[in-house]
Amino acid sequence: MRIVITGANGQLGQDVVKLLEAQHEVKGLGRDELDVTNLNQCLELIKKLEPDVIIHSAAYTAVDLAETEEEITFLVNATGTKNLALAAESIGAKLVYISTDYVFDGMAMNAYREDDETNPQSVYGKSKRAGEQHVLSLSKKHFIVRTSWVYGMYGNNFVKTMLNLAKTRDSIKVVSDQFGSPTYAVDLALFLEQLIETDHYGIYHASNSGVCSWYDFACVIFEESGVSIKVEPCTTEEFPRPAPRPRNSSMEHGAIRRIGFKDLRAWREGLRAFLKELGAIK
C-alpha cells in the first residue's frame, strides 16, 4: 500500500514510519513538508502522492500551553484534521485519525466505551474532539483511534522523565488519583498496521491492556529498570496544572475485539520491551 503519515517527526509518527516502511511505500510528512492548516496545500500534496491510506498523527500536543493558545490549538487539531479529511475524501483514501482519552471528562466509574458520550474539559481535549467530528462528517473511510499515555523512543515522555529525575533525586512524588493505560508507541503502531488492511471503519480505543495510576506506573518503571528511588503518592490537587486531566482515562477495547483482533499486550509487558529498547534494563 501507499501510505502517507503526517506528524512523521513526532513521537508516534517516527515509530509508525519505521514499522510500516518495511512492508509498504511510505511517505512521512513533517511540518516542513506539509502545513496541515493550509487546505490548498493538503489537497494538492495528497492528490500528487495518491496514497491509499493517510495516518494523521500530526497534532498540537502541548496540553498545558494549549489553555492559553486556544486559537493555534484548534487551528492545528480541528481545522488541520478537517483539511486532511477533505483531502483524503477527494481521492478516496482511508483516513486514520489519532485521537485521545482527553475527549472524556474522566468522571466515569468504569472504563469508557467507544460510543460513550464525550465531554472534554481541556482546550486540547476539545480541539481533538472537534477533529473527530470533522472526520466523522467528511470521511467515509475513517478510523478514529483514541489512545492514552503514549511513550516511545522518540521525543519526551513520562518514562524518560522518571528515569532522568532518578539520576538527580533520592525521592519523587507522583500523582496517584489519575488512572489510565500506558501505551508503548510500537504496540500502537503494530495495531495501526493491522487496522489499515481492513475496511472495519469506525472508532477504536487502542492502548496497552490493563489500568494503573501514574504513581503505579512510576513504581513499575523503577522496579523494571532496577533503579532505587523513593516514590511517594500525591493527589492531583497537590500537583496543580493549567489543563485539567481526566481522573479516569481507562478505555474499553470493545471495537478491537468485535473485529476479531487480538488486544494489545499488557502495559507492563510493553514497558519492559521499551526499557530493553532504551537500554535501561541491565
> Among 9, 138, 125, which residue's Cα sits nearest to residue 83?
138
Task: Evaluate whether residue 166 is within a structural domain.
Answer: no
Query: Chain-wide mean pLDDT for the chain?
Result: 97
Task: Evaluate whether residue 240 is within a structural domain.
Answer: no
Cell 500536543 identifies what position?
A: 61
Q: How many helices (H) and strands (E) does the chain have?
A: 10, 12
Q: What is the mean pLDDT of residues 158-174?
A: 96
Task: Evaluate whether residue 276 is within a structural domain.
Answer: no
Task: Evaluate whether residue 239 is within a structural domain.
Answer: no
Contacts of 108 (CB under 8 A, 6+ apart): 116, 248
pLDDT at 112 over 70: yes
Q: What are phi and psi of 204, to 5 degrees?
A: -130, 145
The proportion of the chain whose per-residue pLDDT surpasses 70, expressed as a percent, equals 100
The pLDDT tens digits of the residues spanning 2-60 come to: 999 999 999 999 999 999 999 999 999 999 999 999 999 999 999 999 999 999 999 99
> Nine-digit cell at 37?
492548516
Q: Quick check: helix, strand or coil at residue 146?
A: strand
pLDDT at 282 over 70: no
CA distance 137 to 149: 27
Q: What is the mean pLDDT of residues 132-141?
A: 98
The pLDDT tens digits of the residues spanning 186-198 come to: 999 999 999 999 9
Q: Annotated catalytic sites, by residue?
A: 124
CATH code for the domain of 34? 3.40.50.720
CA distance 125 to 106: 11
Task: Evaluate whether residue 131 is within a structural domain.
Answer: yes
> Nine-digit cell at 110?
468504569
pLDDT at 95 over 70: yes
The overall pTM is greater than 0.75: yes
Look up the domain containing 35 and give its range.
2-156+182-209+249-265
CA distance 34 to 26: 15
CA distance 59 to 77: 6
Task: Evaluate whether residue 117 is within a structural domain.
Answer: yes
Quote the number of domains for the chain: 1
- pLDDT band at residue 119 under the 50/70/90 scheme: very high
Decide if 101 contacts 180 (C-beta within 8 A): yes
Q: DSSP letter for 66, please.
A: G
pLDDT at 239: 87
